[in-house]
Structures are given as C-alpha cells and as structure tokens.
Amino acid sequence: MRHWPRAEAAAAQPAAGGGASDDDGLSEADAAKALEEYDQANVRGCAKCVLHEQRTQAVFGDGCARPELVFVGEGPGADEDKQGIPFVGRAGQLLTKMIEAMSLTRKQVYICNIVKCRPPGNRTPTEEEMNTCSPYLYWQLSILRPKVIVTLGRPASQTLLQTKTPISRLRGQFHDFPPPGLMDEGLPAAKLMPTFHPAYLLRSPGEKVKAWEDLKQVMAFLGIPIPPRG
C-alpha cells in the first residue's frame, strides 16, 4: 500500500494529448503538470510539522520532470526559502558547477530536498521532520522515474537508504533503490549514489576530489563521456 499524501486524482493522470510517454503513461509535459498540481494541492500549504511556522514558502523542486538524474539534499536554506527554488545559495552555486562538470545543465536534471521547508538557522532536519516530509519526496520520485539518484550528504542518504551507516561508508558505490524498507511505497527502481553535500565541500574543499569520483561513476553509468582531466 502506498503511503503518499493524496493529491487530486487528476494530478496523477495523463493529460489529453502530449508527446512520447514513459512506461507509466505520462509524457514529460504530463509529469510536469502532475508535479505542479501536487505541489499546489499538498505541499505549499502543508502544516504537518513545525517547519511551516517560520517558512516564507515551501520549496518543492526544480528541473526536468522526466530526468535520468535526480539530486536530493536535506532541506532549503535562507536563499531557497526566499526564492522558492532549491540549491540557489552558495552550496547551490557549487552544485550547479558540479552538474556542469558532468556536461549537464540544471534544466536536464531534477533537484529537490527531503524536507520542503527551511529548518531554523539552517540546522539539520530532525528525524521526525524528515519522516513527516519524505512521503512528498517519494511521490516526486514516482513521477520523475530517474535512472540515478544522487543523495547529497548524510540526512538524504540515510533517509532514502533507510540506514544509519555514515556517509563516509555509503559514498563511492551504487546502492539499489528502493531499499527493503521502502519496497511498499511503489517506487520505481533506480541506482542511488551517495556523495558529500556541497555545503560540506565548501567547508572541506579537499573532499571535492572524492565527490568528483562519485559523480564520474554516475556519468559512466549514464553513458556520459568523462572529461580527459576530470
């Protein structure tokens, strides 16, 4: 049984017309429409945890509605809360450079977070907050249907893999998604690569080489040529 918050039934149905569709019957245009309608119906007015009390706006996600690659962080910061777009602050600028180093653009991938509202002071979301908000992410992934998910940092990696294993031991290798703990959510199969959060890389620039090694594995899996000196 799926445990996602319910949107209007129309949000999960293909619209009339549209272009080539994926195996669930949704074209990219249909998927974008479903994501937008779900955001409006369920996320923007959500008050299920304390994070809604100080937000300017919920930050649902941004990018291609049918990407091969999805990036998942932990939660929006001050810039994201103000603009309503994930990863637009300093960490977001670094993530954009990482995506561009992969010969991709932000419009070709999808970017989102575990929690959709900014934690006060940009603190790490609590386990309760992530458990409350993660069904929204599961619904997004069911529409996005990526081939690869890159989780940015410990909270996102541990939440999606349903584990307490440290990020230092999770990164550097692909994991099957969904893990056994999420099998009942009806999520499409994908490969998941944990890596360091861009905010951590700004504090610890020496770890960038490890993150790039993780991303090169993703590129190889997706058939993207790796730059000679990458």
* Residue 228 in this model has a pLDDT that exceeds 70: yes
Sign for the CA dihedral angle at 136, 160, 162, 142 comes to: positive
pLDDT tens string 78-95: 999 999 999 999 999 999
* Residue 210 in this model has a pLDDT that exceeds 70: yes
| Residue 72: Cβ within 10 Å count | 27
**Burial, 186: exposed, middle or buried (Cβ in 10 Å; 0-12, 13-18, 19+)?**
middle
Instruction: Quote the tokens at residue 99.
Output: 């995506």
* Residue 17 in this model has a pLDDT that exceeds 70: no
Give CA torsion, residues 110, 116, 122, 123, to 10 deg.
-110
For residues 63-77, give the mean pLDDT.
Answer: 98
- Give the per-residue pLDDT at 183: 86
- Please compute Rg for the chain using Cα positions: 17
- Give the per-residue pLDDT at 186: 83
Instruction: Specify the long-range contacts of residues 211-216, CB closer than 8 Å, at least 24 apart.
Output: 211/98, 211/171, 212/98, 212/101, 213/172, 214/150, 214/171, 214/172, 215/98, 215/101, 215/102, 215/150
| Residue 187: Cβ within 10 Å count | 20
- Give the per-residue pLDDT at 4: 33
* Residue 2 in this model has a pLDDT that exceeds 70: no
Residue type, 156: A
For residues 28-41, give the mean pLDDT.
Answer: 97
* Residue 9 in this model has a pLDDT that exceeds 60: no
| Residue 79: Cβ within 10 Å count | 17
* Residue 189 in this model has a pLDDT that exceeds 60: yes
For residues 21-33, give the mean pLDDT.
Answer: 82
Confidence class of residue 10 from pLDDT cuts 50, 70 and 90?
very low
pLDDT tens string 134-188: 999 999 999 999 999 999 999 999 999 999 999 999 999 999 999 998 988 889 9
For residues 127-134, give the mean pLDDT.
Answer: 97
Q: Name the residue with higher pLDDT: 144 or 9.
A: 144
If you average pLDDT over every residue of the chain, what do you get?
A: 90
Looking up tokens 């999770």, which residue turns up? 170
- Give the per-residue pLDDT at 23: 65
* Domains, the chain: 25-221 (3.40.470.10)
